[in-house]
């Protein structure tokens, strides 16, 4: 099954070309400051895919620099994953939000929006060539698997088309857990996943 059948025949031939195209694109839903490109080395062993840039990412133009990103980087470090050698990107490249007073409140992208951006993500991952692609949360899993995924039921190793994959929770899910004990338990589960991700990428080396 071709999960990315909407890739056009005149698709970009390099990551730089793809990034130029993404950077010049208009958001599907108006409002975002800029497109946020993936970051990290080509041939990174692990590629982490998030949902979409948040408020801070939209302002700074970099993925995972806000609170969820800080949590992700802390957990990576604790799990022995060198953040400078990992690739981080998003399924959707523009921030979607609702204005409440002066606050920009994150809005989850629709399945149609995820589909719109999917061929970019596929090409991006082709150019990076990671050994393991990690879906952080349901939107990334939807983009990578091409079908809705229950993160809690399907957490763990998987394949996304021809790619080795892993499904885990999104760090912002951890931030939203209201009670401290629940938060600590979920963070421990997240760390367990990241340690496994680290080992799988090492074994594939
Ligand atoms: N959440 C995401 O999914 N991606 C980011 O870049 C930041 C927060």
Residue 6 lies in a domain: no
10 CA distance to ligand 1 centroid (A)?
Answer: 29
Q: pLDDT for 153-204, tens place per residue?
A: 999 999 999 999 999 999 999 999 999 999 999 999 999 999 999 999 999 8
Count: domains in the chain: 1
149 CA distance to ligand 1 centroid (A)?
Answer: 18
| 57 Cβ inside 6 Å of ligand 1 | yes
| 54 Cβ inside 6 Å of ligand 1 | yes
CATH number, domain containing residue 149: 3.40.470.10
Beta strands per DSSP E along 103-196: 103-106, 132-136, 156-160, 163-168
pLDDT band at 1 (very low <50, low <70, confident <90, very high): very low
pLDDT for 166 equals 98
126 CA distance to ligand 1 centroid (A)?
Answer: 21
Residue 34 lies in a domain: yes
What atom in ligand 1 is closest to the CA of residue 137? 3
Q: pLDDT for 4-44, tens place per residue?
A: 556 777 899 999 999 999 999 999 999 999 999 999 999 99
Residue 4 lies in a domain: no
- Give the residue, out of 35, 50, 67, with the most ligand 1 atoms within 8 A of its beta carbon, to mutate for a pocket test: 50
pLDDT for 4 equals 52
Give yes or no for residue 87 having a pLDDT over 70. yes
Q: Which residues are CB-contacts of 115 (< 8 A; sequence separation ≥ 6)?
A: 6
| 171 Cβ inside 6 Å of ligand 1 | no
Please tell me whether residue 100 adopts helix, strand or coil conformation. strand
Give yes or no for residue 205 having a pLDDT over 80. no
172 CA distance to ligand 1 centroid (A)?
Answer: 8
Residue 198 lies in a domain: yes
Residue 1 lies in a domain: no
Give residue 111's domain range. 15-204
Buried b (16+ CB within 10 A) or exposed e, 123-152: bbbebbebbbbbbbbbbbbbbbbbeebebe
Q: pLDDT for 89-122, tens place per residue?
A: 999 999 999 999 999 999 999 999 999 999 999 9
Residue 5 lies in a domain: no
Residue 76 lies in a domain: yes
Instruction: Dig out the tokens for 12 from the structure.
Output: 């970009």
| 68 Cβ inside 6 Å of ligand 1 | yes
Quick one: average pLDDT of 143-153? 97
| 50 Cβ inside 6 Å of ligand 1 | yes
**Do residues 90 and 63 make contact, with C-beta atoms less than 8 angstroms apart?**
yes
| 69 Cβ inside 6 Å of ligand 1 | yes
- Give the residue, out of 172, 174, 175, 176, with the most ligand 1 atoms within 8 A of its beta carbon, to mutate for a pocket test: 172
**Do residues 89 and 127 make contact, with C-beta atoms less than 8 angstroms apart?**
no
Instruction: Report d(CA 22, CA 64) in Å as an integer.
Output: 18
Q: How far does CA 1 lie from the centroid of its chain?
A: 22
Angle between helices 111-128 and 138-145 (to 10 degrees): 70
What atom in ligand 1 is closest to the CA of residue 136? 3
Residue 170 lies in a domain: yes
């Amino acid at each position: 099954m071709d999960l990315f059948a909407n890739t056009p025949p005149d698709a970009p031939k390099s990551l730089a070309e793809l990034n130029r195209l993404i950077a010049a694109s208009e958001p599907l839903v108006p409002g975002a400051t800029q497109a946020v490109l993936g970051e990290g080395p080509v041939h990174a062993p692990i590629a982490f895919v998030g949902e979409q840039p948040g408020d801070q990412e939209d302002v700074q133009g970099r993925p995972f620099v806000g609170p969820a990103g800080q949590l992700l980087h802390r957990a990576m470090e604790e799990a022995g994953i060198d953040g400078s050698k990992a690739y981080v990107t998003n399924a959707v490249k523009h921030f979607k939000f609702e204005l409440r007073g002066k606050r920009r409140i994150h809005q989850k992208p629709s399945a149609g929006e995820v589909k719109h951006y999917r061929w970019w993500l596929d090409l991006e991952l082709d150019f990076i060539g990671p050994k393991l692609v990690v879906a952080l949360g349901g939107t990334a899993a939807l983009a990578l698997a091409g079908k809705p995924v229950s993160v809690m039921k399907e957490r763990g190793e998987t394949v996304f088309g021809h790619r080795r994959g892993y499904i885990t929770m999104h760090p912002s899910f951890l931030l939203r857990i209201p009670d401290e004990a629940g938060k600590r338990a979920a963070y421990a589960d997240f760390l367990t996943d990241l340690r496994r991700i680290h080992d799988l990428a090492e074994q594939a080396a």
